[in-house]
Structure 1
């Protein structure tokens, strides 16, 4: 692999790959390490890249596999520590610190969507991140995840439904809290 090819891939996709991995693992340090692993794999396997997919989907596919491997490893370790068997999608390595983009965005709705995204299953999160944050097409998302286009569409539809349900539940809970608070004030 020529240095200029590697530099171009790094410059063009580094930030997108980092964001994708971060949203998957929710830990900045781990995301940075996994991005390095992505580019190490790229260095070692670019000569085998056959061009059946584009470079972007190939890189996201590598990133997806590394993130999932990390999450599975962490989940096995957590189950070992807790001595219980828990679904892989229920345990989430979570970094409560917001991303720079989240700090810059002042709107509560956007922040609520990102928080709700963190509660989604791994499959839902992958599709939503690739489709709406990374702006990949259905076809590119399918290639990145190794899924059919129909699976991407179905998963995307279900993920959006779940996000809506989570966001509507949060709004109702906030509304109930405000109603209860105002009732307490009225009694005093």
Structure 2
């Protein structure tokens, strides 16, 4: 049903951006993008057309990411490097930034799964609201409202 080269050419960038928003690791995102296309080709008979192909591919990618997380959890592997700390900052500034980042991710962590994913796609993956809506098979306005409400819950929780 699908041609490998066609799928890769048309959807690789979308899959890659989605995976980068989840893992923040370019090499892993590229590897998982290739695996996603491979799995899509293998299971192309199961695609029923009820959603966009990009949505279906992102669901496969998310499943592969979860498998990778499970694998790393069993092995005790560190998941993410600290990409946000710059060599230009003093140790005090780095500590402050790390603490702020930790607080943000703690606040995001307690959100429901959908809100958490929308927030992470928006702030770490640089996805547009339209693209986020497509991933969830919703519209752009739904993505904007979901992001806004999640952000409000984070701000409200931070003021306590």
Report the equivalent of 1:160.
151
TM score, norm. by length of structure 2: 0.60
Give 3-state SS (helix, strand or coil) of 1:136's partner: helix
Residue of structure 2 in register with 1:61 after alignment: 59
> Separation in 2 of the partners of 1:18 and 1:26?
10
Moved over 4 A (4+): 152-155, 162-166
User: Equivalent residue for 1:95?
Assistant: 81
Are 2:54 and 2:135, in contact at CA under 8 Å, matched by a contact in 1?
A: no
Contact 1:28 1:95 in 2 (8 A): no
Which of residues 103, 114, 118 in structure 2 aligns to 1:127? 118
Deviation at 1:127, TM superposition (A): 1.9
Match of residue 94 from structure 2 = none
- 1:18 corresponding residue in structure 2: 16
**Aligned equivalents of 2:9, 2:156: Cα separation in 1:** 38
Task: Report the equivalent of 1:40.
Answer: 38
Q: Tell me, which stretches of 5 or more residues in structure 2 are unaligned?
A: 85-96
Name the counterpart of 1:71: 69
5+ residue gaps, structure 1:
82-91, 99-111, 145-149, 170-188
Contact 1:34–1:63 under 8 Å retained in 2: yes
Aligned-pair CA distance for 1:25? 1.5
Once residues 150 and 55 of structure 2 are traced to their aligned partners in structure 1, the CA distance between those partners, rounded to angstroms, is: 21
Whether the aligned pair in 1 keeps the contact of 2:118 and 2:132 (CA below 8 Å) is no
Is 1:27–1:93's contact at 8 Å kept on the other side of the alignment?
Answer: no
Indicate the RMSD between aligned Cα atoms, in angstroms: 4.0
TM-score normalized by the length of structure 1 = 0.53
Give the CA deviation at 1:39.
Answer: 0.7
Q: Computing the radius of gyration over CA atoms, which structure comes out larger, 1 or 2?
A: 1
Distance 1:17 1:153, change over 3 A: same
Q: How far is 1:165 from its partner?
A: 6.8
